[in-house]
Amino acid sequence: MRKRIVIVGVSSAGISAAAAARKTDLDAEIILISEETRWPYSRCGLPFVLSNEVPSFKEVRLFPPSYYRLMKLDLRAGISVKSVNTDTKTVQMETLDQQRELVEYDRLVLCTGAASAIPPIQGIEKRGVFSLRTVEDGMRIQKWLENAENAVVVGSGFIGLELAHALKNLNINTTVFERCPHVLPEWFDKDMADLVHEKIQKQGVKVIVDAKIEEILGGDYVTGVLAGGEQYNADTVLLATGARARTQLAKQMGVQLGKFGAIQVNSRMRTSIPEIYAAGDCVESFNMITGHATLSLLGTTAERQGKIAGINAAGGYATFPGVLHSVVSSMFNFEIGATGFTEQYAQQNGWETTAGTITAKTRAEYFPGGKPITIKVVAENDLGKIIGGQIIGGEEVTQRVNLLSVAIQNQMSVSELAKADTCYAPSVCSPWEPVILAAETTMMRRNRRREP
Amino acid sequence: MRKRIVIVGVSSAGISAAAAARKTDLDAEIILISEETRWPYSRCGLPFVLSNEVPSFKEVRLFPPSYYRLMKLDLRAGISVKSVNTDTKTVQMETLDQQRELVEYDRLVLCTGAASAIPPIQGIEKRGVFSLRTVEDGMRIQKWLENAENAVVVGSGFIGLELAHALKNLNINTTVFERCPHVLPEWFDKDMADLVHEKIQKQGVKVIVDAKIEEILGGDYVTGVLAGGEQYNADTVLLATGARARTQLAKQMGVQLGKFGAIQVNSRMRTSIPEIYAAGDCVESFNMITGHATLSLLGTTAERQGKIAGINAAGGYATFPGVLHSVVSSMFNFEIGATGFTEQYAQQNGWETTAGTITAKTRAEYFPGGKPITIKVVAENDLGKIIGGQIIGGEEVTQRVNLLSVAIQNQMSVSELAKADTCYAPSVCSPWEPVILAAETTMMRRNRRREP
């Protein structure tokens, strides 16, 4: 009998689950339910439309409509799921014009994603305050920015800095506020974060750390923010204060949640209810190094998990190996990326660590166009295993993050990575690969510490 | 007592040995003996000076003179070693003006490198025939090319293609001849090599494979070549037909050579004579996958080996892990790189293999500036372990080669690599990292083969 797989939510996780399910079961009926009315798109692309690096919001569409026909995916847009009955295995759906429909499922995949986390700041409801999650959000922001002169970005994670970059590209005076003592607090240690801070300020963006927004000022419209007792003028406030798993439906269904309040899944991405899988921002992931629960909230994690959920929901077998929070982006004239634990996080969680940082160039010294790159490698002190890496560079940061991620996945020690057989040509790298140098520096610092 | 370390040869291996020896023993006397009269330089940079990407031969100098003072390295240039007496531990040196000097050593490190392999072709002595090994070679070629119109490159390895690129940059009609059935025969399988072939031809360089140069035509001066019975006009012939270890001194000393005729060393880079180490193009390496002897002849290998030799010669302890022949270069508008075994080599050596190849883009589909990239991953069929990779792409090839190299070093299977936690931003990569897709494709092809 033909199996029916219903996927709720069609961002990265849902789309990936659908494709994997189709590849696993060529006959299954696959229904994708989307709240949004537009073709599925890349959320990660939105800041780059605002920055004008991508010409329009139309561009970030994931696939042409023909893709869904080709893959025989029944994409239903503009439909919300009101409830799920796990006994009768039915989904109660409602269209935009409030037509209801009951759909049976054999397997259900919850990819309900996350919503922007809105901090409880007084005045947050004022006009001119935005968060960016959907194309509609993006369009509203883009239109608003046409008349903006002074903007505040709240939060200096990756999205916050991408937004600051976009604002600067539009010649809007921009100030980034970060509650923590340094930018990128989840991804970078202070030493590396301070380099990013400095680079951003050099681009003309003001960055204020250790600063909580106490109030958003103005009448109906934003006129400024109050932070640390000081007033800052602003006609625009962009919130980049993270996201929270959307679990309302899961809760209603009785699906078990984890310690962070997101959906708990096993390594096959199955929830506490056997026929129900979940993937993406709405689930709790686990860390590849420790096996402990963690929230990932990354598009790549959503895609990787969606694939596993799709394969298993369709009757295949695949397991998810956990996450390392590998992340990268480009902004202004540089790229930043990280994977694994920061040294600060590791130490706060009881690890003893040694880190090594080097600054080198991306090409041979004598080759024109080489750019500086700074790499920090974090190792634990017992076996010298690599547990994290942070990179700031003018080019080719992405694959170096991936290299460190794969090193962590393989539980490599810094000594082992220092022996890697890297390639070289003066036009594309330096003779001593900077990642390897950083590993070697960490190894030598660790050896020195171990000497009596 | 102060130890004296004498290093013969100051290209990549010698320079690296000296630096590592100095870091290991701050007091040792370190003497570097160079045949050449100029400051040590990067051989890998020479083709890029010919192409005008690097403005002059002066640029490829490795370090400023102050480096040698700072590191307390006694660099003696323009000196040849006439003989070594391993009983008295003395080196007989001779200056350019034939002054002789006897120098004692505690440890000797042979970094005598390689010389261009000159094939026994009739007419090879004619004016207009060159090979590129030293700055002097490069200067002669550069001067000659001022009046060149038609050039032939013999050999389509990395250096051959870099030279073809340089010639094309100088608007010289260029034809590359390759004896084997496809270009890059040591590094690429035919399927991937044919893509390179096509890309080079599109740049206006003629490539003729399966073609042995039978004769170099002309009087005193080259006027053409004879290949496959056909005549091709040429005023210039650049030989890129590999290199041979320079082992004359080692032989004279009674140092044992290996099966390929290069110096045999153990994993500490020690020769058959305890106080004598060797590193770089003059030694026989071993393959990281098989442990079997192999010739590497790469600058990176020389540097890695030089470091190990230097540490050990200075009384430290370090071992060399073997080579994977990881290689990369840029030419025309693309980059190529490889690591490990080609499928053809593996199969010829008794492996059963599965390979997967994918073509993707280096950025998100919708992000401007993304370039095509084609990646081939080769796995052996028993455990699915990765044994090789080949990449052709518009950008960011280097670190993907390194990623595959580290995967091989860790004996990863394609299934394991397919689970890597890669990073993503639309501006710098695609959501599904192409290396991971290639591993996954290989995994799926292998799984299909294993089905009954």
Q: Is the dihedral of CA B381, B387, B390, B396 positive or negative?
A: positive
Do A72 and A31 form a contact (C-beta atoms < 8 A)? no
A344–B contact, CB cutoff 8 A: no
Which residues in chain A touch residue B325, judged by CB atoms under 8 angstroms apart? 421
B335 to chain A: nearest residue by CA? A428
DSSP-derived secondary structure letter, B395: S
Q: Which residues of B touch A410 (CB under 8 A)?
A: 406, 410, 412
Dihedral sign computed on CA atoms, order A298, A304, A307, A311: negative
A318 touches chain B (CB under 8 A): no
Q: Which residues pair with B91 in a beta bridge?
A: B84, B103
| Cα–Cα distance for residue pair B227/B443, rounded to 1 Å | 42
- Give the residue among A51, A113, A38 at the shortest CA–CA distance from A238: A51
Tokens in use for A207? Answer: 């960055």
HSE-CB for A369 with a 13 A CA cutoff: 9
Going by DSSP bridges, is the β-strand pair B114-116/B29-33 parallel, antiparallel, or unpaired? unpaired
* Residue A327 at interface with chain B, using a CB cutoff of 8 Å: yes
| Cβ–Cβ gap A405/B424 under 8 Å | no
Nearest CB to A324: which of B326, B401, B421? B421
Q: Is B440 on the interface with A (CB under 8 A)?
A: no
Rounded-to-integer distance, Cα B16 and Cα B270, Å: 16
Q: What is the pLDDT of residues A93-114, one digit of tens each?
A: 999 999 999 999 999 999 999 9
Strand partners, B277: B109, B270
State the amino acid at position B451 in one-letter form.
Answer: E
At A452 the pLDDT is 60
Name the residue type at position B193: A
3-class SS of residue B58: helix
Report the pLDDT averaged over residues A215-232: 97
What's at B182, amino acid-wise? H
What is the side-by-side order of every strand in the sheet holding A222-227?
A213-218, A222-227, A230-233
pTM for this model (two decimals): 0.97
Averaged confidence pLDDT in chain A: 97
Q: Which residues of chain A neighbour B398 with C-beta distances below 8 Å? A: 396, 399, 423, 425, 428-429
Contact A186/B at CB under 8 A = no
Taking an 8 Å cut-off on Cβ atoms, the answer to whether A299 and B424 are in contact is yes
Nearest-neighbour CA in chain A from B403: distance (Å): 5
Helix axes A398-409, B398-409, angle to 10 degrees: 10
Task: Write out chain A in H/E/C secondary structure.
Answer: CCCEEEEECCCHHHHHHHHHHHHHCCCCEEEEEECCCCCCECHHHHHHHHCCCCCCHHHHECCCHHHHHHCCEEEEECEEEEEEECCCCEEEEEECCCCEEEEECCEEEECCCEEECCCCCECCCCECEEECCCHHHHHHHHHHHCCCCEEEEECCCHHHHHHHHHHHHCCCEEEEECCCCCCCCCCCCHHHHHHHHHHHHHCCCEEECCCCEEEEEECCEEEEEEECCEEEECCEEEECCCEEECCHHHHHHCCCECCCCCECCCCCCECCCCCEEECCCCECEEECCCCCEECCCCHHHHHHHHHHHHHHHCCCCCCCCCECCCEEEEECCEEEEEEECCHHHHHHCCCCEEEEEEEEECCCCCCCCCCEEEEEEEEECCCCEEEEEEEEECCCCHHHHHHHHHHHHCCCEHHHHCCCCCCCCCCCCCCCCHHHHHHHHHHHHHHHHHCC
Residue of A337, A398, A420 lying closest to B396 (CB–CB): A398
Cβ–Cβ of B45/A367 closer than 8 Å? yes
Strand partners, B390: B338, B376
Scan residues 377-406 of A and list those with Cβ closer than 8 Å to B. Answer: 396-403, 405-406
Interface of B with A in 96-155 (CB under 8 A): none
Bridge partners for A207 per DSSP:
A176
Share of chain A above pLDDT 90, in %: 98
Q: Please give the angle made by the CA atoms of A265, A266 and A271, to the nearest 5 degrees.
A: 40
Whole-number percent of chain A with pLDDT over 70 = 100
Given a contact cutoff of 8 angstroms between Cβ atoms, the answer to whether B291 and B323 are in contact is no
Question: Which residue in B44, B326, B366 is closest to A421 by CB distance?
Answer: B326
pLDDT of residue B451: 67
pLDDT mean for each 10 residues of chain B (452 residues): 95 97 97 95 96 96 95 96 97 94 97 96 97 97 98 98 98 98 97 98 97 97 96 98 97 97 98 98 97 95 97 97 98 97 97 98 95 98 97 98 98 98 96 96 89 64
Within 8 A by CB and 6+ apart from B41, the residues are B57, B60, B61, B62, B135
**What are φ and ψ of residue B330, in 5° steps?**
-120, 145
Say whether pLDDT at A1 is over 90: no
- Per DSSP, the residues of B402-413 read HHHHHHHHTT-B
pLDDT at B416: 98
Residue A411 has pLDDT above 70, yes or no: yes
Q: Is the model's pLDDT at A450 over the cut of 80? A: no
Record the tokens describing residue A426, joined without a space.
């003066």
> Which of B328, B410, B421 is facing A326, going by the closest CB pair?
B421
Q: What is the pLDDT of residue A449?
A: 79
Q: Would you tell me which residues 11-40 of chain A have a C-beta closer than 8 angstroms to some C-beta of chain B?
A: 12
What is the per-residue pLDDT for B1? 80
A302 closest CA partner among A113, A134, A135: A113
Of A321, A328, A420, the CB nearest to B419: A321
| CB < 8 Å to A420, chain B | 402, 405-406, 409
Q: How many CA atoms lie within 13 A of B320 on its CB side?
A: 33
Whether residues A429 and B368 touch (CB distance < 8 A) is answered with no
The answer to whether residue B44 is catalytic is: yes
Q: How confident is the model at residue A447 (pLDDT cuts 50, 70, 90)?
A: confident
Residue closest to B148 by CA, chosen among B233, B243, B262: B233
pLDDT of residue B448: 85
CA B369 to the chain's CA centroid: 30
